[in-house]
Chain A
Amino acid sequence: MSDLLEQLVHGLTLGSLYAMVATGLALMFGVVRLVNFAHGEFYMLGGYAFWYAYAELGLPYPVAGLAAAAAMGVFGLAYERGVIRSILARTWHVQLIATLATSITLTNLAILVFGTQPKEVPTTLSSTIADVGGVRMAWQRPLVLVAAVIIFAGLEWFVTRAKLGKAMRAMSQNREACAVVGVDVQRVALATFGISAALAGGAAALVSPLFNIFPDVGALLTLKAFAAVIVGGFGYVRGAIAAAFLIGLAESLAAGYVSYAYKDAIAFVVMVAVLLVRPQGLFGRRIGI
């Protein structure tokens, strides 16, 4: 029983990470209809920002975490202005190449700037072990889960209650109509990228104390988050969150009970199986956050 509980704890930690990254991807797609293949690299940069704030500047963990999220928020705004805005009206091929090129450029820039040695950012919580019903885990793991829940609740409130959030929802349904009724669509798109990047930065600050930060860390993460977005129903944020947890749990159970080497393959087989049965995604929604 404790064995199963352990696998569930791993699955939920991984699911939280995938969900925070997938949420950003889903928001971007929902609002501006663009798949950001550099989103994993946002996580990577967030990790380095957190490392710099926490390990180099010596800021307290919560401050360093918020600083990383804020730094990535600013980066997201700059990315929208510098890269995305000029390609939004272009074909999907151009968008694909532009975001992929950004991904490769950011990875190699990280190698140049930070080197290839992984950065370790252990915190008090990641070094302190709790024993819950025979399951040993660093306190950082429950923190990741709790923080993820709070972030998703906050996001839910934001998109349903806040003016900007409502505008994002409206844009996800009909961009042209929004423009006609006076919604500043460029400002909403800009904010979407800021929020999505900040989410990736926040995820990095939460998870980096458990895992390493290295230039290539975002590559696989983008794929996993992308899978969650597809399974959840493209552009549907709640679906992406649920699917991310599903993938995290599937991966953990596959690794724990079938094969660690093929856990990623098994997670993707789950994705293919879901899409065969429900091509519109698990939650069967049309596009809309």
Chain B
Amino acid sequence: MRLTRRSTIGIAVVLALALGGERPGVQAQGATPIKVGFASAMTGPSAITGEGVKWAAQMLADEYNAKGGIMGRKIEISFGDNAGTPGEAVSAVRKLADVDRVDVIIGQTHSGACLGALPVVKELQVPMVIEACSNPKIRELIGKTVNEWAFRVNPDDVMLANQFARYMSQSTKSVSIFAQNDDFGRGAAAAYDVAFKKYGIKLVSTEFFDRGQADYRPVLTRVKRANPEAVLLVMLASEGSVFMRQFREVGLTQKLYARGSMATLEFLHQVRDSPSIADGLVEATYWTPVLDPAWEKQWLDRFKVPVRVHGSLAAIAFRYAVAPAVEQAIKKTGRADRKSIRDALEELDVANTPVGRIRFDDTHQAFINMLLVEINGGQLKILERIAIQP
């Protein structure tokens, strides 16, 4: 190949840029952004959860980046759409890990998606902090000996069911369960079946429904026939509003308990024309806006709609697990790569968070507080704050 004058100059320029870039490159290393992936349902019948997660992630990134990021490194966010299903969760994790090259994932909001994602985060060796998946099976599939890449902040339904059933047994002797027909609903129903037996509550019937259903009246007629003292709903606010209207339409007056996102501002916003429609409903949960009024205000100012529970749970996972772990990883190793973040998560111990202490045990499970929140006069009221023991 003959080198012309022009091509020689071109090669020289390229070499100069490449070699000269070495030093700025070292400096840029320090300023490389921390890439955080958020996986949730952005499409499909559960898309409301993903929208909340997306909004929360944008707020967090803006807030942290305005302060200069974490240890001088900006936060760069990416999103993976799991559509609330295990199959899509696999694609979401692969996209976040292989395409967006994230350092850590927060997700997957839905239990089925979590179960689908777990083997992939292990295979791709990317740390994932679970913020809202309560299926009890997840605990068997994560931890130092099983899957060292996954961590769960929220309690599972076995932990919640034991405390909630104890509370219910004080005033209730028979219950019908009405649950989503997915890993969240079925996991919770199985956990409550066991807990009810332990506390002497008779389980009258268990019914499952597919998300996006329009008409609950047929099953409400069945509940009417079974006539339990109370009904335990395992459902999200998006279904809850239609359900509650039809519950009253049929004329049912049973005491209501819930798991999901019924005692939330999202739900109250949807039934704002009839705010006391679910008065007396008590939900077992681990987050409510009262825990962090500043976050709620920030949310309302920015999005003009009530704060979303799933976005807030992703924010908890970011603020009190991922961000401190990244900081710790940089302090300890000078890096914030997947391995160092994973190691830092194992050693994490954040005592004062709105949801309680976040520290992962050997099964990579944290034990935050459980709350019993009641809807009363169209308002949310914390009835009890219960410390969950390992």
Which A residues form the contact surface with B (CB < 8 A)? Answer: 3, 6-7, 9-10, 13-14, 17, 107-108, 111, 115-118, 120, 122, 126-127, 129, 136-138, 207, 210-212, 214-217, 219-220, 251-252, 255-256, 259-261, 263-264
Contact = CB atoms under 8 A, between A and B. Distances in A.
A3 B208 CA distance: 20
B249 A260 contact: no
B298 interface: no
A219 B212 contact: yes
Most chain A beta-carbon contacts within 10 A, residue among B218, B222, B238, B250: B218
B1 interface: no
Contacts of B207: 259-261
Interface of B: 43-45, 47-48, 50-51, 181, 207-210, 212, 214-215, 217-219, 221-222, 225, 238, 241-242, 245-246, 248-251, 266, 269-271, 273-274, 305
Contacts of A126: 245
A260 B222 contact: yes
A6 B217 contact: yes
Given A108-B43, A212-B241, 4 more contacts: A111-B51, A116-B50, A212-B214, A263-B218
A122 B274 CA distance: 10
Given A111-B43, A216-B45, A118 B249 contact: no
A129 B245 CA distance: 11
A7 B221 CA distance: 8
A122 B241 CA distance: 11
Contact of B215 (A3, A10, A259, A261): A10
Nearest to B186: A261
Contacts of A212: 214, 238, 241-242
Nearest to A134: B251
Nearest to A211: B214
Given A212-B242, A264-B210, A136 B250 contact: yes
Contacts of B50: 116
B249 A138 contact: yes
A256 to B, nearest CB: 4
A3 B222 CA distance: 9
B271 A120 contact: yes
A116 B48 contact: yes
Contacts of A129: 248-249, 251
Main secondary structure of the interface of A (DSSP, over half): helix
Contact of A261 (B181, B217, B241, B266): B181
30 contacts: A3-B225, A10-B217, A10-B218, A13-B215, A111-B43, A111-B47, A116-B48, A117-B48, A117-B270, A118-B241, A118-B242, A118-B270, A120-B241, A129-B249, A137-B249, A138-B249, A210-B214, A210-B215, A210-B246, A211-B214, A212-B241, A214-B238, A216-B44, A219-B212, A256-B219, A256-B221, A256-B222, A261-B207, A261-B208, A261-B210
A216 B45 CA distance: 6
Contact of A220 (B212, B241, B269): B212
Contact of B273 (A3, A122, A138, A207): A122
Nearest to A251: B218
A62 B354 CA distance: 49
Contacts of A255: 218-219, 222
Contacts of B270: 117-118, 120
A216 B47 contact: yes
Contact of B245 (A14, A116, A122, A256): A122
A137 B249 CA distance: 6
Contacts of A264: 210
B208 A260 contact: yes
B328 to A, nearest CB: 35
A216 B242 CA distance: 15
A229 to B, nearest CB: 19
Nearest to A265: B210
B221 A6 contact: yes
Given A111-B43, A136-B250, A216 B212 contact: yes
Nearest to B208: A261
